[in-house]
Amino acid sequence: DIQMTQSPSSVSASVGDRVSITCRASQDISSWLAWYQQKPGKAPKLLIHAASSLQSGVPSRFSGSGSGKDFTLTISSLQPEDFATYFCQQTKSFSWTFGQGTKVEVK
C-alpha cells in the first residue's frame, strides 16, 4: 500500500494566519490526491481533489498544490471555522489511503 505522511501532526495558529500542511506519498501518485477537513463528531468534508482543484462551495482561502510525492494544503487566512483536523488521501491505486491527520488548533 502507498503510505501517506502528513506534517506537522498539529499546528497552533491564530485567526488571520497563513497555515500550510504537507503530505508526502511513499511513491509517485501523480495528482491523485484529496484533502478533507473534519470537525469533532462530524463526517469529513472534501476540500480539494486532484491535488489542486477546489471542491464546489469551498472557500477560496483553501488551496492545494503539488504532484508526484509532495503536496501542500494552504489556508491563506485562517478563519474561526477552520480550526479542525485535516487529512490527505491518495487515490492513485487501491487501497486508497489517508494520512494520519493534522490538527489545526487555537494558539
Binding site for another protein (CB under 8 A): 1, 32, 34, 36, 38, 43-46, 49-50, 55, 87, 89-91, 94-101
Question: Would you say 50 or 106 has its CB closer to another protein?
Answer: 50
CB of 16 vs another protein, minimal distance in Å: 28
C-alpha–C-alpha distance, residues 30 and 92, integer Å:
7
User: Which residue's CB is nearer to another protein, number 4 or number 19?
Assistant: 4
Give 10-42 as a DSSP string: EEEE-TT--EEEEEEESS--TT-EEEEEE-TTS
Cα–Cα distance, 36 to 87 (Å, whole number): 5
CB of 4 to another protein, least distance (A): 10
Q: How big is the chain, counted in residues?
A: 107
| Least Å from the CB of residue 42 to another protein | 8
